[in-house]
Amino acid sequence: MMEVAGSWSEVFEGSETKEESSETLLGSSTLTLAPLVSDSPSIRRSQPILITSNRAKGVESFSSSVPSIPNPFPELSKSPVLISSFPPQSSDKHAIKVYGEDSHSRSVWVSPGATAREACHMLVQTAHCSDQENWALLEVHPTLGLERCLEDHEVVLEVQATWSLKGDTRFMFCKNYAKYEFFRKPMLFFPESMISDSADVNKGMTSSELIKNLLKSGTCPEIQGFLHVKEPSRKAWKKVYFFLRRSGLYSSSKGSSKEPRHLQYVADLGDLNVYTVVNSRKLYGAPTDFTFCIKPSKNPIRVQDLKILCAENEQTRTCWTSAFRLFKYGKQLQRNYEMSKAAPQKVEGSKLADGKSKSEASLVAMDFSGKAGGRVIQNPMEAQSAEREEGLAWRRREALRCSLPNLNSAVSPSSIHKTQLWFHGGVSRKEAQRLIEKQGLVDGMFLIRDSQQHAQCFVLSLCYQLKTKHYLVIPFENGGRKYYTMDDGDTLFIDLLQLVEFHQINKGILPVCLKHPCVCVAL
Protein backbone atom coordinates (compact mmCIF):
# COMPACT_ATOMS: atom_id res chain seq x y z
CA MET A 1 0.00 0.00 0.00
CA MET A 2 1.18 3.44 -0.87
CA GLU A 3 1.11 6.13 1.78
CA VAL A 4 -0.01 9.71 1.07
CA ALA A 5 1.49 12.44 3.15
CA GLY A 6 -0.77 15.16 4.50
CA SER A 7 -4.53 15.42 4.58
CA TRP A 8 -6.54 14.13 1.59
CA SER A 9 -10.16 14.10 0.33
CA GLU A 10 -12.41 11.37 -0.98
CA VAL A 11 -14.90 12.15 -3.75
CA PHE A 12 -17.51 9.52 -4.71
CA GLU A 13 -19.10 9.69 -8.15
CA GLY A 14 -22.76 10.57 -7.96
CA SER A 15 -22.56 11.80 -4.34
CA GLU A 16 -21.63 14.95 -2.49
CA THR A 17 -18.06 15.65 -1.42
CA LYS A 18 -17.23 14.20 1.99
CA GLU A 19 -14.24 14.42 4.23
CA GLU A 20 -13.37 11.17 5.90
CA SER A 21 -10.39 9.57 7.51
CA SER A 22 -8.40 6.84 5.88
CA GLU A 23 -9.90 4.22 8.21
CA THR A 24 -13.43 4.61 6.67
CA LEU A 25 -12.45 3.80 3.08
CA LEU A 26 -14.75 1.40 1.23
CA GLY A 27 -12.90 -1.07 -0.90
CA SER A 28 -15.62 -1.27 -3.58
CA SER A 29 -15.82 2.49 -4.19
CA THR A 30 -13.98 4.45 -6.83
CA LEU A 31 -12.12 7.27 -5.21
CA THR A 32 -9.89 10.14 -6.15
CA LEU A 33 -7.25 11.44 -3.78
CA ALA A 34 -6.02 15.00 -4.00
CA PRO A 35 -4.23 17.21 -1.51
CA LEU A 36 -6.43 19.92 -0.02
CA VAL A 37 -5.65 23.56 -0.59
CA SER A 38 -6.64 25.61 2.39
CA ASP A 39 -7.74 28.75 0.52
CA SER A 40 -9.57 26.98 -2.39
CA PRO A 41 -13.38 27.31 -2.50
CA SER A 42 -15.51 24.30 -1.68
CA ILE A 43 -16.94 22.38 -4.61
CA ARG A 44 -20.78 22.22 -4.97
CA ARG A 45 -22.60 20.25 -7.61
CA SER A 46 -26.06 20.76 -9.24
CA GLN A 47 -25.97 24.52 -8.69
CA PRO A 48 -27.15 27.08 -11.28
CA ILE A 49 -24.44 28.77 -13.22
CA LEU A 50 -24.53 32.56 -13.31
CA ILE A 51 -24.30 33.88 -16.89
CA THR A 52 -22.02 36.86 -17.12
CA SER A 53 -23.05 40.14 -18.68
CA ASN A 54 -20.58 39.63 -21.51
CA ARG A 55 -22.58 36.66 -22.77
CA ALA A 56 -25.83 38.63 -22.68
CA LYS A 57 -24.23 41.32 -24.77
CA GLY A 58 -23.13 38.69 -27.23
CA VAL A 59 -26.69 37.46 -27.63
CA GLU A 60 -27.91 40.98 -28.32
CA SER A 61 -25.29 41.50 -30.95
CA PHE A 62 -26.22 38.16 -32.53
CA SER A 63 -29.91 38.99 -32.71
CA SER A 64 -29.23 42.41 -34.12
CA SER A 65 -27.17 40.87 -36.90
CA VAL A 66 -30.14 38.78 -38.12
CA PRO A 67 -32.07 40.59 -40.90
CA SER A 68 -35.58 41.69 -39.90
CA ILE A 69 -38.55 39.84 -41.42
CA PRO A 70 -40.83 42.18 -43.42
CA ASN A 71 -44.43 42.52 -42.32
CA PRO A 72 -46.57 40.50 -44.81
CA PHE A 73 -49.71 42.51 -43.94
CA PRO A 74 -48.68 46.19 -43.81
CA GLU A 75 -52.26 47.38 -44.22
CA LEU A 76 -53.24 45.84 -40.87
CA SER A 77 -50.65 47.87 -38.94
CA LYS A 78 -52.08 51.14 -40.28
CA SER A 79 -55.76 50.29 -40.11
CA PRO A 80 -57.85 51.39 -37.10
CA VAL A 81 -59.54 47.98 -37.22
CA LEU A 82 -57.85 44.66 -36.50
CA ILE A 83 -59.35 41.20 -36.83
CA SER A 84 -57.80 38.48 -34.70
CA SER A 85 -58.52 36.01 -31.96
CA PHE A 86 -55.88 37.68 -29.76
CA PRO A 87 -55.89 41.30 -28.53
CA PRO A 88 -53.33 43.68 -30.05
CA GLN A 89 -50.39 44.95 -28.01
CA SER A 90 -51.80 48.46 -27.70
CA SER A 91 -54.31 48.78 -24.89
CA ASP A 92 -56.63 51.21 -26.67
CA LYS A 93 -58.18 48.50 -28.89
CA HIS A 94 -61.62 47.14 -28.08
CA ALA A 95 -63.23 43.93 -29.30
CA ILE A 96 -66.63 43.84 -30.96
CA LYS A 97 -68.42 40.81 -32.36
CA VAL A 98 -69.82 41.02 -35.89
CA TYR A 99 -72.24 38.44 -37.27
CA GLY A 100 -72.72 37.37 -40.86
CA GLU A 101 -76.02 36.37 -42.40
CA ASP A 102 -75.16 32.73 -41.73
CA SER A 103 -75.27 33.40 -37.94
CA HIS A 104 -71.49 32.92 -37.62
CA SER A 105 -69.51 35.70 -35.96
CA ARG A 106 -66.03 37.18 -36.04
CA SER A 107 -64.23 39.27 -33.42
CA VAL A 108 -63.02 42.66 -34.60
CA TRP A 109 -60.52 44.82 -32.72
CA VAL A 110 -61.32 48.48 -33.28
CA SER A 111 -59.83 51.73 -32.07
CA PRO A 112 -62.05 54.15 -30.14
CA GLY A 113 -62.58 56.31 -33.23
CA ALA A 114 -63.18 53.58 -35.83
CA THR A 115 -66.21 54.29 -38.02
CA ALA A 116 -68.66 51.90 -39.61
CA ARG A 117 -67.04 52.52 -43.01
CA GLU A 118 -63.60 51.49 -41.71
CA ALA A 119 -64.96 48.38 -40.01
CA CYS A 120 -66.74 47.33 -43.22
CA HIS A 121 -63.57 47.88 -45.25
CA MET A 122 -61.61 45.52 -43.03
CA LEU A 123 -64.38 42.90 -43.02
CA VAL A 124 -64.48 43.00 -46.82
CA GLN A 125 -60.76 42.16 -46.91
CA THR A 126 -60.87 39.33 -44.39
CA ALA A 127 -64.06 37.77 -45.82
CA HIS A 128 -62.48 37.84 -49.33
CA CYS A 129 -65.48 39.64 -50.83
CA SER A 130 -65.41 40.13 -54.58
CA ASP A 131 -66.19 43.86 -54.34
CA GLN A 132 -65.88 46.63 -51.76
CA GLU A 133 -69.04 48.59 -52.53
CA ASN A 134 -72.45 48.77 -50.82
CA TRP A 135 -71.45 47.01 -47.59
CA ALA A 136 -72.93 48.06 -44.27
CA LEU A 137 -73.09 47.31 -40.57
CA LEU A 138 -76.56 46.70 -39.18
CA GLU A 139 -77.55 47.20 -35.57
CA VAL A 140 -79.92 44.32 -34.85
CA HIS A 141 -82.16 43.72 -31.83
CA PRO A 142 -83.58 40.20 -32.45
CA THR A 143 -85.93 40.07 -29.46
CA LEU A 144 -87.59 43.41 -30.28
CA GLY A 145 -87.42 42.88 -34.05
CA LEU A 146 -85.53 46.15 -34.68
CA GLU A 147 -82.89 46.80 -37.33
CA ARG A 148 -80.96 49.90 -38.31
CA CYS A 149 -78.21 50.48 -40.85
CA LEU A 150 -75.33 52.42 -39.30
CA GLU A 151 -74.29 55.55 -41.16
CA ASP A 152 -70.78 55.42 -42.60
CA HIS A 153 -69.51 58.15 -40.26
CA GLU A 154 -70.89 56.69 -37.03
CA VAL A 155 -68.33 55.52 -34.47
CA VAL A 156 -68.87 51.83 -33.81
CA LEU A 157 -67.91 51.84 -30.11
CA GLU A 158 -70.18 54.80 -29.37
CA VAL A 159 -73.10 52.88 -30.82
CA GLN A 160 -72.23 49.76 -28.83
CA ALA A 161 -71.97 51.81 -25.62
CA THR A 162 -75.73 52.52 -25.77
CA TRP A 163 -76.63 48.81 -25.65
CA SER A 164 -77.90 47.03 -22.58
CA LEU A 165 -75.45 44.47 -21.17
CA LYS A 166 -78.24 41.93 -20.71
CA GLY A 167 -79.68 42.30 -24.22
CA ASP A 168 -79.04 40.32 -27.40
CA THR A 169 -78.12 43.30 -29.56
CA ARG A 170 -75.53 42.60 -32.24
CA PHE A 171 -73.79 43.96 -35.31
CA MET A 172 -74.47 42.28 -38.66
CA PHE A 173 -72.34 42.61 -41.80
CA CYS A 174 -74.26 42.50 -45.08
CA LYS A 175 -74.94 44.24 -48.36
CA ASN A 176 -77.10 47.37 -48.51
CA TYR A 177 -77.71 48.83 -51.96
CA ALA A 178 -80.40 51.30 -50.88
CA LYS A 179 -78.41 53.33 -48.35
CA TYR A 180 -78.13 56.34 -50.68
CA GLU A 181 -80.69 55.41 -53.31
CA PHE A 182 -82.84 58.50 -52.54
CA PHE A 183 -80.03 60.66 -53.95
CA ARG A 184 -80.29 58.81 -57.27
CA LYS A 185 -84.10 58.51 -57.55
CA PRO A 186 -85.58 61.20 -55.28
CA MET A 187 -89.07 61.16 -56.79
CA LEU A 188 -89.47 57.47 -56.01
CA PHE A 189 -88.66 58.07 -52.35
CA PHE A 190 -90.47 61.40 -51.88
CA PRO A 191 -93.83 61.32 -53.69
CA GLU A 192 -95.60 64.63 -54.22
CA SER A 193 -98.55 63.54 -52.10
CA MET A 194 -96.36 63.44 -48.99
CA ILE A 195 -94.59 66.78 -49.45
CA SER A 196 -95.95 69.42 -47.08
CA ASP A 197 -97.96 72.28 -48.56
CA SER A 198 -95.71 74.73 -46.72
CA ALA A 199 -92.81 73.79 -49.01
CA ASP A 200 -91.86 76.33 -51.67
CA VAL A 201 -93.50 74.49 -54.54
CA ASN A 202 -95.28 77.59 -55.95
CA LYS A 203 -92.15 79.71 -56.42
CA GLY A 204 -91.82 78.82 -60.07
CA MET A 205 -90.33 75.43 -59.19
CA THR A 206 -91.74 71.95 -59.68
CA SER A 207 -91.77 69.46 -56.83
CA SER A 208 -89.08 67.32 -58.48
CA GLU A 209 -86.77 70.32 -58.86
CA LEU A 210 -87.44 71.29 -55.25
CA ILE A 211 -86.55 67.83 -53.97
CA LYS A 212 -83.35 67.65 -56.04
CA ASN A 213 -82.21 71.07 -54.85
CA LEU A 214 -82.94 70.23 -51.22
CA LEU A 215 -81.08 66.94 -51.42
CA LYS A 216 -78.05 68.60 -53.00
CA SER A 217 -77.97 71.08 -50.13
CA GLY A 218 -78.12 68.24 -47.60
CA THR A 219 -81.68 68.65 -46.37
CA CYS A 220 -85.14 67.27 -47.08
CA PRO A 221 -88.63 68.61 -47.83
CA GLU A 222 -91.16 68.60 -45.02
CA ILE A 223 -93.13 65.37 -44.93
CA GLN A 224 -96.72 64.87 -43.85
CA GLY A 225 -99.24 62.06 -43.82
CA PHE A 226 -101.26 59.58 -41.77
CA LEU A 227 -99.53 56.87 -39.75
CA HIS A 228 -100.80 54.22 -37.38
CA VAL A 229 -99.34 54.71 -33.92
CA LYS A 230 -99.36 52.16 -31.12
CA GLU A 231 -100.82 53.66 -27.98
CA PRO A 232 -98.64 53.17 -24.90
CA SER A 233 -99.56 50.29 -22.57
CA ARG A 234 -102.30 49.20 -24.97
CA LYS A 235 -102.61 46.83 -27.91
CA ALA A 236 -104.77 49.26 -29.89
CA TRP A 237 -103.45 51.28 -32.84
CA LYS A 238 -104.64 54.79 -33.66
CA LYS A 239 -104.43 56.64 -36.97
CA VAL A 240 -102.77 60.05 -36.51
CA TYR A 241 -101.64 62.77 -38.93
CA PHE A 242 -97.92 63.57 -38.53
CA PHE A 243 -95.63 66.37 -39.74
CA LEU A 244 -91.87 65.96 -40.03
CA ARG A 245 -89.97 69.23 -40.05
CA ARG A 246 -86.45 70.41 -39.38
CA SER A 247 -87.46 71.38 -35.85
CA GLY A 248 -88.86 67.93 -35.02
CA LEU A 249 -91.75 65.48 -35.37
CA TYR A 250 -95.27 66.78 -34.69
CA SER A 251 -98.73 65.21 -34.60
CA SER A 252 -102.08 66.87 -35.16
CA SER A 253 -104.76 66.55 -32.50
CA LYS A 254 -107.47 67.45 -35.01
CA GLY A 255 -107.45 65.51 -38.27
CA SER A 256 -104.88 66.86 -40.70
CA SER A 257 -104.93 70.38 -39.30
CA LYS A 258 -101.52 72.05 -39.16
CA GLU A 259 -102.56 75.05 -37.07
CA PRO A 260 -100.14 75.67 -34.21
CA ARG A 261 -102.82 75.14 -31.56
CA HIS A 262 -103.49 71.65 -32.94
CA LEU A 263 -99.84 70.52 -33.26
CA GLN A 264 -98.25 68.44 -30.54
CA TYR A 265 -94.49 68.05 -30.25
CA VAL A 266 -93.47 64.36 -30.42
CA ALA A 267 -89.69 64.06 -30.73
CA ASP A 268 -86.44 65.92 -31.41
CA LEU A 269 -84.74 64.66 -34.57
CA GLY A 270 -81.21 65.21 -33.27
CA ASP A 271 -81.72 62.86 -30.33
CA LEU A 272 -83.33 59.81 -31.93
CA ASN A 273 -82.62 56.87 -34.19
CA VAL A 274 -85.07 55.31 -36.63
CA TYR A 275 -85.40 51.52 -36.94
CA THR A 276 -87.35 49.23 -39.22
CA VAL A 277 -89.44 46.62 -37.42
CA VAL A 278 -89.29 42.97 -38.50
CA ASN A 279 -92.28 40.67 -37.99
CA SER A 280 -94.29 43.57 -36.56
CA ARG A 281 -97.66 41.85 -36.87
CA LYS A 282 -96.63 39.06 -34.52
CA LEU A 283 -94.56 41.11 -32.09
CA TYR A 284 -96.68 44.25 -31.80
CA GLY A 285 -99.97 43.44 -33.49
CA ALA A 286 -99.34 46.01 -36.23
CA PRO A 287 -102.07 46.50 -38.86
CA THR A 288 -99.52 46.18 -41.72
CA ASP A 289 -95.98 44.87 -42.27
CA PHE A 290 -94.57 48.34 -43.05
CA THR A 291 -93.62 49.31 -39.50
CA PHE A 292 -90.81 51.47 -38.13
CA CYS A 293 -90.04 53.02 -34.77
CA ILE A 294 -88.06 55.88 -33.24
CA LYS A 295 -86.22 55.93 -29.93
CA PRO A 296 -83.71 58.17 -28.08
CA SER A 297 -80.25 57.46 -29.44
CA LYS A 298 -78.32 57.84 -26.15
CA ASN A 299 -80.34 55.42 -24.01
CA PRO A 300 -80.50 51.60 -23.99
CA ILE A 301 -83.52 50.24 -25.79
CA ARG A 302 -86.55 49.71 -23.58
CA VAL A 303 -89.98 48.78 -24.87
CA GLN A 304 -91.61 51.70 -23.06
CA ASP A 305 -89.30 54.16 -24.86
CA LEU A 306 -90.20 52.96 -28.37
CA LYS A 307 -92.49 55.05 -30.52
CA ILE A 308 -93.83 52.46 -32.97
CA LEU A 309 -95.37 53.76 -36.21
CA CYS A 310 -96.96 51.86 -39.07
CA ALA A 311 -97.37 52.96 -42.71
CA GLU A 312 -99.79 51.76 -45.36
CA ASN A 313 -97.13 50.63 -47.88
CA GLU A 314 -93.39 50.30 -48.36
CA GLN A 315 -93.03 53.57 -50.26
CA THR A 316 -94.59 55.52 -47.39
CA ARG A 317 -92.38 53.85 -44.80
CA THR A 318 -89.24 54.42 -46.89
CA CYS A 319 -90.15 58.08 -47.35
CA TRP A 320 -90.48 58.64 -43.60
CA THR A 321 -87.29 56.79 -42.64
CA SER A 322 -85.25 58.54 -45.36
CA ALA A 323 -86.56 61.93 -44.25
CA PHE A 324 -85.61 61.19 -40.63
CA ARG A 325 -82.03 60.43 -41.71
CA LEU A 326 -81.73 63.53 -43.89
CA PHE A 327 -83.10 65.89 -41.26
CA LYS A 328 -80.81 64.43 -38.59
CA TYR A 329 -77.50 64.22 -40.46
CA GLY A 330 -77.97 66.79 -43.24
CA LYS A 331 -74.85 67.46 -45.28
CA GLN A 332 -72.99 64.61 -43.63
CA LEU A 333 -75.11 62.14 -45.61
CA GLN A 334 -74.27 64.03 -48.80
CA ARG A 335 -70.55 63.69 -48.01
CA ASN A 336 -70.98 59.99 -47.25
CA TYR A 337 -72.71 59.53 -50.58
CA GLU A 338 -69.91 61.29 -52.46
CA MET A 339 -67.33 59.08 -50.72
CA SER A 340 -69.30 55.95 -51.60
CA LYS A 341 -69.22 56.92 -55.29
CA ALA A 342 -65.43 57.20 -55.26
CA ALA A 343 -63.46 54.24 -56.57
CA PRO A 344 -62.90 51.69 -53.80
CA GLN A 345 -59.32 51.45 -52.58
CA LYS A 346 -57.44 48.34 -53.55
CA VAL A 347 -55.95 46.18 -50.86
CA GLU A 348 -52.27 47.11 -50.55
CA GLY A 349 -49.99 44.47 -51.93
CA SER A 350 -52.75 42.08 -52.93
CA LYS A 351 -54.09 43.68 -56.10
CA LEU A 352 -52.40 45.02 -59.17
CA ALA A 353 -53.40 47.98 -61.31
CA ASP A 354 -55.73 45.91 -63.49
CA GLY A 355 -57.51 44.43 -60.46
CA LYS A 356 -55.89 40.99 -60.69
CA SER A 357 -54.13 39.42 -57.75
CA LYS A 358 -50.46 38.54 -57.88
CA SER A 359 -51.25 34.83 -58.15
CA GLU A 360 -53.50 35.48 -61.14
CA ALA A 361 -50.87 37.69 -62.76
CA SER A 362 -48.36 34.85 -62.68
CA LEU A 363 -50.62 32.75 -64.94
CA VAL A 364 -50.47 32.91 -68.74
CA ALA A 365 -53.09 32.08 -71.36
CA MET A 366 -52.23 29.12 -73.59
CA ASP A 367 -53.61 27.94 -76.94
CA PHE A 368 -53.43 24.16 -77.57
CA SER A 369 -55.56 24.11 -80.73
CA GLY A 370 -52.57 23.75 -83.12
CA LYS A 371 -50.64 20.60 -83.98
CA ALA A 372 -47.27 22.02 -82.99
CA GLY A 373 -48.18 22.12 -79.30
CA GLY A 374 -49.21 24.97 -77.04
CA ARG A 375 -48.40 28.62 -77.56
CA VAL A 376 -48.60 31.56 -75.17
CA ILE A 377 -51.32 34.07 -76.08
CA GLN A 378 -49.69 37.49 -75.94
CA ASN A 379 -52.67 39.63 -76.99
CA PRO A 380 -54.84 40.45 -73.90
CA MET A 381 -58.00 40.73 -76.02
CA GLU A 382 -57.34 37.32 -77.55
CA ALA A 383 -56.76 35.85 -74.09
CA GLN A 384 -60.09 37.21 -72.80
CA SER A 385 -61.89 35.90 -75.88
CA ALA A 386 -60.33 32.45 -75.42
CA GLU A 387 -61.37 32.45 -71.76
CA ARG A 388 -64.99 33.25 -72.64
CA GLU A 389 -65.09 30.65 -75.40
CA GLU A 390 -63.68 27.97 -73.12
CA GLY A 391 -66.25 28.75 -70.42
CA LEU A 392 -69.13 28.73 -72.91
CA ALA A 393 -67.94 25.49 -74.48
CA TRP A 394 -67.82 23.79 -71.09
CA ARG A 395 -71.32 25.00 -70.26
CA ARG A 396 -72.66 23.78 -73.62
CA ARG A 397 -71.18 20.33 -73.06
CA GLU A 398 -72.60 20.19 -69.54
CA ALA A 399 -76.03 21.42 -70.63
CA LEU A 400 -76.06 18.98 -73.56
CA ARG A 401 -75.20 16.08 -71.27
CA CYS A 402 -77.96 17.00 -68.84
CA SER A 403 -80.59 17.75 -71.51
CA LEU A 404 -80.26 14.46 -73.42
CA PRO A 405 -82.99 11.83 -72.94
CA ASN A 406 -82.61 10.24 -69.55
CA LEU A 407 -81.08 6.93 -70.68
CA ASN A 408 -79.10 6.66 -67.47
CA SER A 409 -80.87 7.21 -64.19
CA ALA A 410 -77.61 8.49 -62.67
CA VAL A 411 -77.64 11.55 -64.95
CA SER A 412 -78.98 14.54 -63.01
CA PRO A 413 -79.98 18.02 -64.20
CA SER A 414 -77.32 20.70 -64.43
CA SER A 415 -76.48 22.05 -60.98
CA ILE A 416 -74.16 24.87 -62.00
CA HIS A 417 -76.62 27.35 -60.46
CA LYS A 418 -75.90 25.96 -56.98
CA THR A 419 -72.45 27.54 -57.06
CA GLN A 420 -73.80 31.04 -57.77
CA LEU A 421 -74.20 33.69 -55.07
CA TRP A 422 -77.70 34.59 -56.22
CA PHE A 423 -79.06 31.06 -55.66
CA HIS A 424 -80.61 30.61 -52.21
CA GLY A 425 -81.92 27.06 -52.34
CA GLY A 426 -85.18 26.30 -50.58
CA VAL A 427 -85.89 29.61 -48.81
CA SER A 428 -89.54 30.52 -48.56
CA ARG A 429 -91.30 33.36 -50.38
CA LYS A 430 -91.46 35.43 -47.20
CA GLU A 431 -87.81 34.85 -46.38
CA ALA A 432 -86.81 35.83 -49.94
CA GLN A 433 -88.69 39.11 -49.56
CA ARG A 434 -86.98 39.63 -46.22
CA LEU A 435 -83.50 39.07 -47.68
CA ILE A 436 -84.12 41.53 -50.51
CA GLU A 437 -85.58 44.08 -48.12
CA LYS A 438 -82.57 43.82 -45.80
CA GLN A 439 -80.07 44.40 -48.61
CA GLY A 440 -82.00 47.30 -50.07
CA LEU A 441 -85.18 47.69 -52.09
CA VAL A 442 -83.50 48.94 -55.26
CA ASP A 443 -84.56 48.18 -58.81
CA GLY A 444 -82.84 45.06 -60.13
CA MET A 445 -82.09 43.34 -56.80
CA PHE A 446 -82.79 39.63 -57.35
CA LEU A 447 -82.31 36.06 -56.20
CA ILE A 448 -83.37 32.62 -57.46
CA ARG A 449 -84.75 29.92 -55.19
CA ASP A 450 -86.40 26.52 -55.39
CA SER A 451 -90.16 26.58 -55.84
CA GLN A 452 -91.99 25.23 -52.81
CA GLN A 453 -95.22 24.59 -54.73
CA HIS A 454 -93.98 23.19 -58.06
CA ALA A 455 -91.50 20.32 -58.26
CA GLN A 456 -88.35 20.83 -60.40
CA CYS A 457 -89.23 24.51 -60.83
CA PHE A 458 -87.53 27.67 -59.62
CA VAL A 459 -88.66 31.18 -58.68
CA LEU A 460 -86.94 34.43 -59.65
CA SER A 461 -87.60 37.06 -56.94
CA LEU A 462 -86.99 40.58 -58.26
CA CYS A 463 -87.32 44.04 -56.68
CA TYR A 464 -88.92 46.81 -58.72
CA GLN A 465 -90.20 50.16 -57.42
CA LEU A 466 -89.85 49.15 -53.76
CA LYS A 467 -91.85 45.94 -54.32
CA THR A 468 -90.72 42.33 -54.67
CA LYS A 469 -92.16 40.39 -57.61
CA HIS A 470 -91.87 36.63 -58.15
CA TYR A 471 -91.54 34.87 -61.55
CA LEU A 472 -91.84 31.10 -62.02
CA VAL A 473 -89.06 29.37 -63.96
CA ILE A 474 -90.25 26.03 -65.36
CA PRO A 475 -88.44 23.19 -67.18
CA PHE A 476 -89.34 22.88 -70.87
CA GLU A 477 -88.58 20.09 -73.35
CA ASN A 478 -87.86 20.89 -76.99
CA GLY A 479 -86.44 18.42 -79.52
CA GLY A 480 -85.77 15.86 -76.83
CA ARG A 481 -83.70 18.28 -74.76
CA LYS A 482 -84.46 20.04 -71.48
CA TYR A 483 -84.45 23.83 -71.12
CA TYR A 484 -85.74 26.49 -68.72
CA THR A 485 -88.23 29.23 -69.59
CA MET A 486 -90.28 32.01 -67.99
CA ASP A 487 -92.51 32.80 -70.99
CA ASP A 488 -94.05 29.42 -71.88
CA GLY A 489 -91.22 28.41 -74.21
CA ASP A 490 -90.80 31.59 -76.26
CA THR A 491 -87.28 32.08 -74.80
CA LEU A 492 -85.31 28.99 -73.81
CA PHE A 493 -82.18 28.75 -71.65
CA ILE A 494 -79.89 25.76 -71.22
CA ASP A 495 -79.43 26.52 -67.49
CA LEU A 496 -80.23 29.13 -64.85
CA LEU A 497 -76.85 30.78 -65.29
CA GLN A 498 -77.64 31.55 -68.94
CA LEU A 499 -81.07 32.82 -67.88
CA VAL A 500 -79.50 35.27 -65.42
CA GLU A 501 -76.82 36.45 -67.87
CA PHE A 502 -79.44 37.05 -70.55
CA HIS A 503 -81.65 39.15 -68.25
CA GLN A 504 -78.70 41.15 -67.00
CA ILE A 505 -78.56 42.62 -70.52
CA ASN A 506 -82.17 42.26 -71.74
CA LYS A 507 -85.34 42.87 -69.74
CA GLY A 508 -87.34 40.25 -71.61
CA ILE A 509 -90.64 39.83 -69.76
CA LEU A 510 -89.19 41.49 -66.62
CA PRO A 511 -89.87 45.14 -65.75
CA VAL A 512 -86.14 45.83 -65.24
CA CYS A 513 -82.83 44.12 -65.95
CA LEU A 514 -81.18 42.04 -63.25
CA LYS A 515 -78.54 44.22 -61.56
CA HIS A 516 -77.73 43.35 -57.95
CA PRO A 517 -77.61 39.73 -56.77
CA CYS A 518 -78.83 39.21 -53.23
CA VAL A 519 -75.86 37.53 -51.55
CA CYS A 520 -75.17 36.13 -48.09
CA VAL A 521 -71.63 36.47 -46.75
CA ALA A 522 -70.15 34.00 -44.28
CA LEU A 523 -67.64 35.47 -41.84
CATH number at residue 454: 3.30.505.10
Residue 350 predicted with pLDDT over 90: no
Confidence bin at 360 (pLDDT 50/70/90)? very low
Minimum mean pLDDT among 16-30, 84-98, 423-437, 463-477: which range? 16-30
224 found inside a domain: yes
- 144 shares a domain with 111: yes
1 found inside a domain: no
Percentage of residues of the chain with pLDDT beyond 90: 33
- 185 shares a domain with 114: no
- 188 shares a domain with 319: yes
Map residue 507 onto helix, strand or coil: coil
Element (H, E) at 331: helix 331-341
- 241 shares a domain with 321: yes
Nearest CA among 149, 147, 117 for reference residue 133: 117
What is the count of structural domains for the chain? 3
Residue where a domain stops, chosen among 321, 339, 357: 339
CATH number at residue 211: 2.30.29.30
Full 3-state SS string of 201-228: CCCCCCHHHHHHHHHHCCCCCCEEEEEE
252 found inside a domain: yes
Q: Look up residue 329 and give its amino acid.
A: Y
- 188 shares a domain with 163: no
- 308 shares a domain with 218: yes
- 183 shares a domain with 148: no
Q: Look up residue 488 and give its amino acid.
A: D
Span 242-260, mean pLDDT?
91
Task: State pLDDT tens for residues 322-347.
Answer: 999 999 998 898 899 888 887 554 43
Residue 66 predicted with pLDDT over 70: no
- 332 shares a domain with 200: yes
Q: Rounded to two decimals, what is the model's pTM?
A: 0.67
Concatenated DSSP letters of 265-323 = EEE-GGGEEEEEESSHHHHH--SSS-EEEEEESSS---GGG-EEEE-SSHHHHHHHHHH
- The pLDDT value recorded for residue 471 is 96
Q: Please, are residues 136 and 120 in contact by the beta-carbon 8 Å criterion?
A: yes
151 found inside a domain: yes
CATH number at residue 124: 3.10.20.90
372 found inside a domain: no
- 331 shares a domain with 427: no
Confidence bin at 275 (pLDDT 50/70/90)? very high
Q: How far apart are CA 226 and CA 194, in angstroms?
A: 10
Q: How far apart are CA 68 and CA 61, in angstroms?
A: 14
Instruction: Determine the structural domain holding residue 483 and report its residue range.
Output: 417-515
476-480: Cβ within 8 A, 24+ apart: 480/404, 480/405
Task: State pLDDT tens for residues 2-32.
Answer: 444 454 444 444 444 444 444 444 444 444 4
Q: How far apart are CA 523 and CA 515, in angstroms?
A: 24
Span 218-241, mean pLDDT?
86
- 219 shares a domain with 122: no
